[in-house]
């Protein structure tokens, strides 16, 4: 058989046409079968069709060798010139970073990529130059502190000095826009992630120059030092977590500079060989693809099949011959990028690849997979993807995303090949965030945004530009990126192919979900306690950037929503609760809302059996048992210093065991990380992808949204400053103009100079803030158009709805709701914040949520119903429920949604909020109660602190303000400040609940008073400690933690007082109705606490006034206004009915008597609020107590042993230093109305009248005082121990304990001194009875 035609198709030449002339048979004569017996020599060689295929293949092989020899000959001259040009280079041919094991730098396997793990690490290359013109490129993975340049081999670097800090080193830092050579100077552009920095040196001209993305930034250094012994190494110094990728000529330069040589020589010979071989392989791939297309469409007879099979054998021999030579060349990354990737890019288009299942590219990839070793083709694919990723992550040039789209399209074309796609999913795309970067759209450079949005077109409320033009620019940017997003989503859809599974291989979707889950779990380890340790054990080498994470999770949500519509159009979009219980989804270190999974499996065995059936339940438990047994490993090995994950960190010991420590913290671990063969169920796979989206959003996806909201908040602050500056500027200019126009005033030069300077100062102030506002407005163009566009907001609304739907359906499973993963509950407050607040780019008092009304209503229903669900045991989940409720109550739409919830849900919420403040997070639930009250309490119209210097009488209209920590996360509800949205509806529900359940109301109020007493006592103790420390020492520095605790105790005190004010306002009969049990006890406790609070924070000036006068920034919340206004609110709530109904009181009421007779009460404490103290401060003299002769003490009653003391004879005026910062309610017109101030005056007058109606206060002797409170007389006796106290103290004690306060004997009965029974414990369950009965 002749292979001539086959040869021509592959090699495009016919070497067999002139076989005799070329004498290709000369070496084959002796190998022919048989011989020629003729005595006359036959000068003709064998005919072509007489040669065997083997002989013809030898001819082909020799011809190919000749081709290679000819390439060698043709390249010699060019190689010689290259050697001459590079003679001033010293070092090995392969240029890489010379990293030793004394520095903490993470280095890639090819020693070209670096990431610093130390404070400031310096690394040099392994080769240097001493003459000529040279360059290398640095691809920035981060944009922080780095110094890039050249350094001599004699330079010594450490953590404090890097490239440019020594005599023979020169560096450039784009983050600071400076060049360094011992000293520093301004230079260059500010670099960004994805930039390619070209570093050139002309040793002969003594010049160093830098290029950013191919554009010269000018000469950085001239007259560099050179001479004998001075060589220049490429060198770089990296700050903490900074990373780069170097190219010394290992790959083609992205921006080569004419006249400069790469540090590593261009492989000329390899390039020519590889180009030639790839031409042949592409031809061969086209032939194979053609045959594959024919075989799939036609059924041929057996003869035809035999003929085709013979031809394919020849082609296979050609392929083997070519691949053998091609593998010798293709392992060079330069060849992969310059030859292979270039050919693939020019070979086809994405549309053509989709239409043709037997394309040439697919044939070429199949050729590689069939004829190359598995490790060889995998290496080639990894390098191809790395090259495409480098192109894709490069900084956008101008307004053109075409290069990014082409790079992703090439990768998409490769992934259309099934075997390549599955390998990349399994082994490449989820390493080093590769896939995440491909699904991220890089923002436009700042100078591009400046061209798109000139200063006059920038818009914020403060600078007041053309809003319509500004929004047009936003829309233009959105359209620029739209086509790239479509390509990204199409690529993701290809990766999730669910039709390529087989009995031996899992589908792409199965592989994708398996790897994606592990990837997200690794990312989530940063969220866990001791996250630094957990994160070190994951496969993630460095954290995922927040913008990239947001883009990744957004496109995943979009994909899962599309899959639901396409594959499950009639299915309810939710995660089936069965997957939480049967172990289908593995949550690793995440617990369940009901606790640890292993415990739940034991407790709910019968419930699982009833839900799944006996057979399926047994299968679940068998899998769980086998999983635990297979992973019983001695954990002590992992606590002895071994590095568990064998990370490639220079400077640390390497461990061999790759198990992660999280395996040992959760009993259930995956049996096998490999996906099962075959296609995946549509329902299970889509539900799993949605589950992964929820995990991803909670773990990393939401972080950038908080930062985006921070930009909006900063713009809002600048708007206020600009409007304030504008107002004052116009006001002063108006006054100056009036002054100029005044006829009697002569303006001299000094006056004119002053006016000119004032105008200049105001203009300068306005320009500074306007410049910053314009800069942020440009940044917000990208945030509005891409990073958090309306499309992404809609995706997060959809995710919130589906999460709530999944939780609601899971709740219907009864006790099995405990198996819901904690992340489903914990992500609710984050999603609600995103939907209701953070996804809006303009600050308003209340945000428009019409597009999310359904999701907000669903959230209100679920959160209200489950606010105190006993099935939710995990503390983090309970806290998340309160956080989510807090988000709702911070918005008017959220409060209205709660009011529209079902009656059952509202009743559950009210009962949850009114539970006793013991053994739970009462601070946050108390904050929630106040959200229903804020706006209706006394001087409680705004949660923000008022300022004495704030002008006007109206509060500032601001949106929701949050205290955020350094990592932009929330720090708790207590620090949220939101506009007032009082709810009359919930106030009525709270009132009804307290009235209808007297024991419940008493227990709740008692817990509030107990916590108030604790919080205020702790606060005063801390104040006294601060005062004593400050008075003992000068220039005292207090511990920030101590000041923070002090401020927190103050805030808790005020919030508890406001809660008490609300309860006494909406349900006053709890203490006003004498017939209610324990009303006297509660009334006396309230009066006692309020009197103590007022006496401590008003007059005489004490530790509170001292701390206020300190004006400490850490204690700026500790002021008179919040606590005094809250105390006045409680008093007004108690006495409101008396003040309104009894204008001229003729008798002392029960409530007034309780307050006036309290030992701590003084009128001066009330007058302090008005800033007009008229009543002198009184202090009781020391009066002898105990047994004495009555005749010597005429003021002692011999029967009662009480002392009757007239006020005027037993008091003295207390003198104290005047306060520095004085207080008066009149100073806060934004928070206190004139009517409220008048209410205080009426309160004081009313109490004065009732004081005059009281007889002289009777003071009991010390022997007759209650030993518990030391303030009231003994009125009760306990049996059987016969100890005594006042009835109020013992009844309060009995609410918490049933044993004697003194001897701990169980109390059976309590009687008054006259024998009246007020408590009995003889019958089980009996409650205390009122004294009046």
pLDDT, one tens digit per residue, over 131-147 is 999 999 999 999 999 99
pLDDT-derived band at 175 (thresholds 50, 70, 90) equals very high
By CB neighbour count within 10 A (0-12 exposed, 13-18 middle, 19+ buried), where does 649 fall? middle
Q: Are 1314 and 1282 in contact (CB under 8 A)?
A: no
Q: Report the C-alpha gap between 1027 and 1021 in whole angstroms.
A: 10
Arithmetic mean of pLDDT, 714-743 = 78
Q: Which helix (H) or strand (E) holds 234?
A: strand 233-239
Q: Are 412 and 396 in contact (CB under 8 A)?
A: no
Assigned token pair, 200: 């050139």
pLDDT of amino acid 919: 72
pLDDT of amino acid 1147: 78
* Cα-based distances in Å from 1125 to 638, 949, 1231, 1233, 1323: 58, 19, 10, 12, 45
Describe the crossing of helices 418-427 and 402-415 by its angle, rounded to 10 degrees. Answer: 110
Q: Which helix (H) or strand (E) holds 449?
A: helix 446-452
Q: State yes or no: pLDDT of 547 exceeds 80.
A: yes
Arithmetic mean of pLDDT, 689-711 = 92
Summarize pLDDT for 626-675 with one digit per residue, the tens: 655 444 444 333 333 333 333 333 333 333 333 333 333 344 444 445 67
pLDDT of amino acid 1142: 66
The residue with greater pLDDT, 784 or 959, is 784
Q: State yes or no: pLDDT of 989 exceeds 60.
A: yes
The residue with greater pLDDT, 971 or 1289, is 1289
Q: Which of 845, 541, 582, 826 is nearest to 694 (CA)?
A: 826
Summarize pLDDT for 260-276 with one digit per residue, the tens: 999 999 999 999 999 99
Assigned token pair, 714: 């900063």
Q: Which of 30, 63, 25 is nearest to 47 (CA)?
A: 25
Q: In the chain, pLDDT over 90 holds for what percent of residues?
A: 45
pLDDT of amino acid 526: 62
Q: Are 347 and 285 in contact (CB under 8 A)?
A: no
Summarize pLDDT for 1105-1119 with one digit per residue, the tens: 888 888 888 888 899
Q: Report the C-alpha gap between 1157 and 1147 in whole angstroms.
A: 15
The residue with greater pLDDT, 622 or 655, is 622
Summarize pLDDT for 874-933 with one digit per residue, the tens: 999 999 999 999 999 988 999 999 999 999 999 999 999 998 887 777 888 899 999 999
pLDDT-derived band at 532 (thresholds 50, 70, 90) equals very low
Arithmetic mean of pLDDT, 180-207 = 92
Q: State yes or no: pLDDT of 1050 exceeds 50.
A: yes
Arithmetic mean of pLDDT, 555-559 = 96
Q: Which residue has the tokens 């109305």?
A: 1233
Summarize pLDDT for 9-53 with one digit per residue, the tens: 888 777 766 554 454 444 444 333 434 444 444 444 455 566 777
Q: Report the C-alpha gap between 359 and 290 in whole angstroms.
A: 8
Provide φ and ψ at 1303, rounded to 5°: -105, -5
Question: How many residues would you count in the chain?
Answer: 1333
Q: What is residue 1118's DSSP assignment?
A: -
Q: How many CB atoms lie within 10 A of CB 571?
A: 14
Which residues fall within 8 angstroms of residue 639, CB to CB, at 6 or more apart?
none
pLDDT of amino acid 853: 92
Q: What is the mean pLDDT of the chain?
A: 82
Least confident of 18-22, 179-183, 706-710, 855-859: 18-22
Summarize pLDDT for 790-820 with one digit per residue, the tens: 999 999 999 999 999 999 999 999 999 999 9
pLDDT of amino acid 651: 36
pLDDT-derived band at 525 (thresholds 50, 70, 90) equals confident
Q: Are 1035 and 1111 in contact (CB under 8 A)?
A: no
Residue 293 C-beta-side C-alpha neighbours within 13 Å: 14
Q: State pTM to two decimals.
A: 0.84
pLDDT of amino acid 689: 95
pLDDT-derived band at 1081 (thresholds 50, 70, 90) equals confident
Least confident of 152-166, 670-684, 1285-1299, 1315-1329: 1315-1329
pLDDT of amino acid 1078: 84
pLDDT of amino acid 1178: 59
What string of DSSP letters covers 176-201?
TTEEEESEEEE-SPPP-TT-EEEEEE
The residue with greater pLDDT, 309 or 514, is 514
The dihedral formed by the CA atoms of 1081, 1087, 1093 and 1097, expressed in degrees to the nearest 10: -170
The residue with greater pLDDT, 955 or 666, is 955
Summarize pLDDT for 1004-1037 with one digit per residue, the tens: 999 999 999 999 999 999 999 998 888 877 667 7
Which residues fall within 8 angstroms of residue 209, CB to CB, at 6 or more apart?
200, 202, 216, 217, 218, 219, 220
Q: How many CB atoms lie within 10 A of CB 1076?
A: 17
Q: Which helix (H) or strand (E) holds 446?
A: helix 446-452
Report helix, strand or coil for 964: strand
- Output Rg (C-alpha) for the chain, integer angstroms: 41
Q: Report the C-alpha gap between 770 and 757 in whole angstroms.
A: 20
Q: State yes or no: pLDDT of 202 exceeds 90.
A: yes
Q: State yes or no: pLDDT of 437 exceeds 80.
A: yes
């Amino acid at each position: 058989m002749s292979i001539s035609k086959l040869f021509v198709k592959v090699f495009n030449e016919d070497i067999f046409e002139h076989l005799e002339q070329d004498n290709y048979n000369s070496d084959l004569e002796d190998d022919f079968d048989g011989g020629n017996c003729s005595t006359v020599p036959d000068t003709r060689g064998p005919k072509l069709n007489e040669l065997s295929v083997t002989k013809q293949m030898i001819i082909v092989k020799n011809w190919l060798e000749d081709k290679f020899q000819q390439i060698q000959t043709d390249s010699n001259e060019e190689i010689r010139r290259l050697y001459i040009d590079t003679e001033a280079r010293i070092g090995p041919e392969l240029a890489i970073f010379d990293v030793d094991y004394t520095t903490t730098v993470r280095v890639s396997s090819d020693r070209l990529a670096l990431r610093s793990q130390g404070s400031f690490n310096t690394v040099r290359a392994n080769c240097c130059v001493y003459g000529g013109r040279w360059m290398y490129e640095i691809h920035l993975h981060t944009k922080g502190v780095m110094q890039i340049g050249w350094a001599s081999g004699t330079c010594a670097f450490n953590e404090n000095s890097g490239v440019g800090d020594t005599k023979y080193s020169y560096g450039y830092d784009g983050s600071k826009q400076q060049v360094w050579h011992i000293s520093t100077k301004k230079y260059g552009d500010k670099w960004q992630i994805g930039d390619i920095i070209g570093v050139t040196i002309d040793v002969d001209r003594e010049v160093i120059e830098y290029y950013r993305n191919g554009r010269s930034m000018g000469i950085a250094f001239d007259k560099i030092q050179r001479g004998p012994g001075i060589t220049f190494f490429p060198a770089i110094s990296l700050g903490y977590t900074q990373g780069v990728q170097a190219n010394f000529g290992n790959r083609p330069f992205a921006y080569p500079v004419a006249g400069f040589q790469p540090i590593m020589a261009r492989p000329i010979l390899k390039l020519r060989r590889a180009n030639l071989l790839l031409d042949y392989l592409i031809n061969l791939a086209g032939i194979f693809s053609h045959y594959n297309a024919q075989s799939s469409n036609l059924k041929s007879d057996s003869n035809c099949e035999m003929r085709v099979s013979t031809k394919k054998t020849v082609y296979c021999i050609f392929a083997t011959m070519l691949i053998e030579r091609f593998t010798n060349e293709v392992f060079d990354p330069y060849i992969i990028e310059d030859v292979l990737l270039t050919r693939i890019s020019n070979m086809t288009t994405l549309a053509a690849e989709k239409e043709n299942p037997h394309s040439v590219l697919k044939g070429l990839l199949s050729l590689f997979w069939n004829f190359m070793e598995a490790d060889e083709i995998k290496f080639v694919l990894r390098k191809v993807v790395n090259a495409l990723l480098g192109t894709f992550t490069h900084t956008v040039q101008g307004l053109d995303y075409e290069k990014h789209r082409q790079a992703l399209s090439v990768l998409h074309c490769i992934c259309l090949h099934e075997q390549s796609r599955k390998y990349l999913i399994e082994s490449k795309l989820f390493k080093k965030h590769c896939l995440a970067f491909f699904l991220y759209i890089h923002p436009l450079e700042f100078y591009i945004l400046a061209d798109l949005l000139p200063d006059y077109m920038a818009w914020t409320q403060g600078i007041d530009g053309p809003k319509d033009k500004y929004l047009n620019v936003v829309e233009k940017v959105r359209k620029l990126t739209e086509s790239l997003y479509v390509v990204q989503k199409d690529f993701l859809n290809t990766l999730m192919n669910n039709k390529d599974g087989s009995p031996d291989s899992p589908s792409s979707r199965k592989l994708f979900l398996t790897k994606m889950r592990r990837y997200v779990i690794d990312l989530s380890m940063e969220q866990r306690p001791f996250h630094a340790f957990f994160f070190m054990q994951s496969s993630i080498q460095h954290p995922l950037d927040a913008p990239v994470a947001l883009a990744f999770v957004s496109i995943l949500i979009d994909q899962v929503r599309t899959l639901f519509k396409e594959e499950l159009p009639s299915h309810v979009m939710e995660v089936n609760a069965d997957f939480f219980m049967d172990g289908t989804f593995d949550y690793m270190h995440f617990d369940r809302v009901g606790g640890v999974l292993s415990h739940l499996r034991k407790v709910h065995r019968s419930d699982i059996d009833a839900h799944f059936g006996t057979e399926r339940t047994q299968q679940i438990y068998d899998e769980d048992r086998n999983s635990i047994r297979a992973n019983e490993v001695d954990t002590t090995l992992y606590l002895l210093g071994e590095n568990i994950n064998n990370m490639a960190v220079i400077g640390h010991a390497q461990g061999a065991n790759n198990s992660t420590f999280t395996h040992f913290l959760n009993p259930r671990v995956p049996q096998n990380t490999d996906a099962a063969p075959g296609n995946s169920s549509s329902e299970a796979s889509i539900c799993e992808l949605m589950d992964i989206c929820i995990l991803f959003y909670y773990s990393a996806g939401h972080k950038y949204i908080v930062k985006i909201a921070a930009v909006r908040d900063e713009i809002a602050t600048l708007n206020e400053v600009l409007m304030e500056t504008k107002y004052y500027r116009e006001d002063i200019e108006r006054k100056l103009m009036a002054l100029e126009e005044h006829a009697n005033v002569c303006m001299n030069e000094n006056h004119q100079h002053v006016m000119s300077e004032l105008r200049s100062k105001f203009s300068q102030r306005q320009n500074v803030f306007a410049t910053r506002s314009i800069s942020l407005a440009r940044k917000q163009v990208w945030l509005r158009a891409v990073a958090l566009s309306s499309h992404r907001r809609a995706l997060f609304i959809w995710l919130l709805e589906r999460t709530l739907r999944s939780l609601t359906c899971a709740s219907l499973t009864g006790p099995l709701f405990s198996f819901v993963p904690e992340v489903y509950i914990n992500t609710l407050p984050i999603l609600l914040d995103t939907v209701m607040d953070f996804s809006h780019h303009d600050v308003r008092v209340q945000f428009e949520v019409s597009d999310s009304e359904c999701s907000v209503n669903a959230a209100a229903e679920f959160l209200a119903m489950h606010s105190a669900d006993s099935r939710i045991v995990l503390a983090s989940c309970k806290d998340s429920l309160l956080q989510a409720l807090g988000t709702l109550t911070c918005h008017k739409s959220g409060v209205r949604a709660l009011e529209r919830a079902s009656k059952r849900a509202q009743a559950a919420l009210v009962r949850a909020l009114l539970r006793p403040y013991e053994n739970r997070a009462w601070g946050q639930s108390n904050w929630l109660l106040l959200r229903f009250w804020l706006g209706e309490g006394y001087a409680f119209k705004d949660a923000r602190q008022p300022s004495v210097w704030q002008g006007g009488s109206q509060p500032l209209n601001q949106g929701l303000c949050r205290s955020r920590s350094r990592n932009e996360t929330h720090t708790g509800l207590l620090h949220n400040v939101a506009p007032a949205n009082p709810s009359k509806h919930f106030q009525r529900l709270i009132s009804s609940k307290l009235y209808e359940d007297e024991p419940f109301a008493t227990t709740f109020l008692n817990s509030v008073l107990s916590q108030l007493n604790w919080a205020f006592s702790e606060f005063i103790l801390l104040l006294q400690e601060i005062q004593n420390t400050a008075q003992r020492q000068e220039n005292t520095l207090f511990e920030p933690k101590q000041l923070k605790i002090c401020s927190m105790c103050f805030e808790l005190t005020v919030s508890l007082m406001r809660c008490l004010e609300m309860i006494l306002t909406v349900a006053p009969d709890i203490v006003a109705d004498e017939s209610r049990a324990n009303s006297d006890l509660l009334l006396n406790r309230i009066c006692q606490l309020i009197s103590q609070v007022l006496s401590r924070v008003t007059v005489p000036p004490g530790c509170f006034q001292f701390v206020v006068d300190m004006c400490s920034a850490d204690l700026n919340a500790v002021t008179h206004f919040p606590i005094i206004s809250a105390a006045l609110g409680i008093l007004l709530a108690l006495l409101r009915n008396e003040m309104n109904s009894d204008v001229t009181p003729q008798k002392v009421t029960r409530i007034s008597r309780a307050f006036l007779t309290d030992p701590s009460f003084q009128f001066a404490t009330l007058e302090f609020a008005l800033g007009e103290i008229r009543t002198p401060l009184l202090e009781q003299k020391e009066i002898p107590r105990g047994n004495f002769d009555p005749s010597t003490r005429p003021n002692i009653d011999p029967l009662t042993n009480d002392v009757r003391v007239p006020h005027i004879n037993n008091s003295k005026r207390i003198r104290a230093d005047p306060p520095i910062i004085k207080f008066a309610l009149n100073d806060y017109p934004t928070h206190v109305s004139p009517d409220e101030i008048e209410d205080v005056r009426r309160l004081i007058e009313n109490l004065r009248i009732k004081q005059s109606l009281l007889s002289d206060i009777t003071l009991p002797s010390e022997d007759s005082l209650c030993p518990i409170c030391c303030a009231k007389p003994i009125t009760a006796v306990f049996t059987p121990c016969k100890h005594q106290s006042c009835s109020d103290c013992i009844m309060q004690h009995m609410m918490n304990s049933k044993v004697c306060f003194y001897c701990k004997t169980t109390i059976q009965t309590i009687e008054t001194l006259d024998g009246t029974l007020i408590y009995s414990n003889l019958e089980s369950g009996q409650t205390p009875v009122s004294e009046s009965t």
